[in-house]
Chains A and B, each alone.
Chain A
Amino acid sequence: MTSLVDSARRVTAGHRDRWLVPALVVLALAYPWLEDTLQSLPLIGDFIPSTESMVVIFAFTMMAVGLNIVVGYAGLLDLGYVAFYAVGAYTAAWFASQQFNQVTFHFFSSVPKDQPGIHITMWAVLVAAGVLTLVSGILIGLPTLRLRGDYLAIVTLGFGEIVPQVVRNGDNIGGFDLTHGTFGIAPIDPAGFVALSWLGLPENFQQSEDRKLWYYVVALALVLITVFCSVRLRDSRLGRAWIAIREDETAAAAMGVPLMRTKTWSYAIGAFFGGVAGAYYASFRGGAFPADFYFQFSVFLLCMVILGGMGSVWGVVVGALFLGYLDREGLSTIGSKIQEAGVDFDPTKYQFGIYGVIIVAMMLLRPAGLIPERRHRIELEEGVHDTPFYDVTTEGTLTDRDPSDD
């Protein structure tokens, strides 16, 4: 099958060394086995994250790559991405826990058959979470995406706050307990290969001896799928339309790109990956807790995208791995090193201050990100001819159009 090799090459195109990405993937796959060796290394050993942290970091990476479709490709500043994480996490909580104990429904579930509530296998739940967030992305997108720039950012910020508020107060909706309020919903069923247990695969990750390993492998697979879809979409007809909208909305519309539909798709597809990642993370943590869904998390994900390079998939992956690592282990490890040295300073207390400094430093040193998108790089290095000076103001904006756009 040459086509498989071909498509792998295309996905990794743009890198001088086409073996770099496959090599990194193999290395990532081997990580759980290398972990102990790496951690016993002198000097750097303490800074090597555990496999468990890596699962979380991968979930963040997936969300960042999803957010990159909205912010990086289509150029829509979304400050409420955490809402999709919440929808994903609660989908997992509804369809794989004892929350709705009025009914008992099992479908290839990894928990005992006598547990009340809806228990659907985590694989189906991940798909359901993706679809539900996709739909909620469309619902949120339709009214908001008519706005441009700053206005859009403010409204998405609003939705990012509304969803967690609904979650916190959703324990008594007309007498019905939808979200279990501030307590959140726990426990959520673990993933497992129920139908494949005859192959020797674990029925329940949480009870398996190789718990960490299985969660890690699935998380890595999810990240790779997300990256793959993201790259393929970028190079498609839809991806071109997204970038055209980012560059010049008016011109894109004049070239036959339906603005509302195209923007909504970017929002919905970005949401899809956020939802799947949210559901998987919730299943790994064993619960969905409203305290997780704060505005800071949206900003945190946005920082990953900006740090890595807006629009650059590999850049965003690197940015997400780096900031995710700092968040999970890096800062506290560095903190304990500093304190061992006798200085009373705890970097985890200044978490967002430190991210801020990192972003500011990046903007000064590498404004297009760690691995800039090809397009930005060209603009910065070759320069762009000045646009003519005249009559820029009389050219139409689309803000006075009526909403029958699509």
Chain B
Amino acid sequence: MAAPDNIIVADKVRKEFGGLVASDDIDFTIARGAIVSLIGPNGAGKTTFFNQLTGVYKPTSGKIVFDGHEITYLPPHAITKLGIGRTFQNIRLFSQMTALENVLVGMHSRLTGGIIGSILHTRRVKREEAAAEETAKELLAYCGLPGRAGQWAGSMAYGDQRRLEVARALATQPKLLLLDEPTAGMNPQETAEFTGFVRKVRDDKGLTVLLIEHDMKVIMGVSERITVLDYGAKIAEGTPAEIQTDERVIEAYLGKGAAA
């Protein structure tokens, strides 16, 4: 079976929390290999949509297909295993674990060591663990944290925690990487570095990247396509240039009459 051109196909995805419609029949596709941004004012339903892609929320109705597999009602770990890795808006590292251990947890679904094997330290488990450690250290170095494997995640500086979250997400061996406001709290220089890094990851690993961002510089600089949400509904979609001149987008951000 040839891999479909669109890695994500979301069809009329709807999520209601009581009377609140957080996702209003969103149709959404991401082309394989693209860097796509999801933007919108605060409370537009970006993270809710993210959480449906990763299985944290179940949609009220609609369908999500990832890489040819329907994932609408799959639990998060099964979706991760299929190849969606993510970071969190408010950093959610395992702070009482080392950087290395954080990355190793990310590799959980790619490892096979069982209970008996772990107790007896069979040759297979030992070899697997050693190889995993090696890979994890390479990943840390790749994400700009060389030699930091033994440091406690909770005691790392904020920017490094962001990097570690990306390293952990990459450890799940994703085909699609979801970054939820990755540059929040970074200074302009860190932000610029990070933007370059996202592009590099995509090219090196052949990933598709979906970003949620507020920083317009990042969005316009890195994304190939942008989708705009407002009040849970998709109001625009297109290239950065198109979005910048879209009336509905300007209205959503700045209010009625601002476009004139």
Contacts and interface: CB of A to CB of B under 8 A. Distances in A.
A binds B: yes
Interface of A: 7, 228-229, 232-233, 235-241, 243-244, 247-248, 250-259, 265, 269, 375-376, 378-379, 382-385, 387-388, 390-392, 394-396, 398, 400-402, 404-406
Contacts of A255: 80, 105-106, 108, 168-169, 171-172
A378 B155 contact: yes
Contacts of A391: 47, 89-90
A402 B74 CA distance: 10
B41 interface: no
B93 interface: yes
B184 A388 contact: yes
B54 interface: yes
11 contacts: A236-B129, A238-B113, A244-B97, A247-B94, A253-B55, A259-B75, A376-B96, A384-B152, A385-B157, A391-B89, A391-B90
A247 B171 CA distance: 18
Nearest to A393: B90
Given A388-B90, A396-B56, A396-B57, A378 B152 contact: yes
B25 interface: no
Contact of A247 (B90, B95, B108, B129): B95
B97 A247 contact: yes
Contacts of B80: 253-256
Contacts of B86: 254
B75 A379 contact: no
A395 B88 contact: yes
Contacts of B129: 236-237
Contact of B97 (A240, A256, A387): A240
Contacts of B91: 387-388
Contacts of A378: 96, 152, 154-155
Nearest to A3: B121
Nearest to B52: A396
B77 A258 contact: yes
B76 interface: yes
Contact of A375 (B47, B57, B96, B108): B96
A405 B48 CA distance: 19
Interface string B106-120: 101111011100110
Nearest to A232: B119
Contacts of B76: 250, 253-254, 398
B220 interface: no
Nearest to A256: B109
Given A385-B154, A388-B91, A388-B184, A257 B108 contact: yes
A387 B184 CA distance: 12
B97 A398 contact: no
B105 A241 contact: yes
Contacts of B29: none
B101 A379 contact: no
A237 B88 contact: no
A406 B90 contact: no
Nearest to A311: B96
Contacts of B184: 388, 390
A250 B56 contact: yes
Nearest to B42: A391
B104 interface: yes
Interface string B51-81: 1001111100000000000000101111011
A395 B54 CA distance: 12
Contact of B90 (A252, A259, A390, A401): A390
B121 A257 contact: no
Q: Determine which residue in B95, B108, B113 has the highest number of CB atoms from chain A within 10 A of its CB, and name it.
A: B108
B92 interface: yes
Contacts of A251: 88, 92-94
Interface in B179-225: 184-185
Contacts of A404: 73, 75
B154 A253 contact: no
A200 to B, nearest CB: 31
B88 to A, nearest CB: 7
A252 B155 CA distance: 19
A248 B76 CA distance: 14
A379 to B, nearest CB: 6
Contacts of A7: 121
B133 to A, nearest CB: 12
A379 B95 contact: yes
A401 to B, nearest CB: 7
Contacts of A375: 96-97, 152
Contacts of A253: 55-56, 75-77, 80
B250 interface: no
Given A247-B94, A256-B80, A385 B155 contact: yes
Given A254-B80, A254-B86, A237 B94 contact: no
B77 A257 contact: yes
Contacts of A394: 47-48
Contact of B118 (A233, A248, A388): A233
B118 A232 contact: yes
B108 A240 contact: yes
Contact of A384 (B78, B101, B155, B171): B155
Nearest to B93: A251
Given A243-B97, A252-B105, A391-B90, A258 B172 contact: no
Interface string B145-161: 00000001011111001
A342 B140 CA distance: 67
Contacts of B47: 391, 394-395
Nearest to A396: B56
Nearest to A247: B94
B94 A244 contact: yes
Contacts of B77: 253, 256-259
A240 B104 contact: yes
Nearest to B155: A382
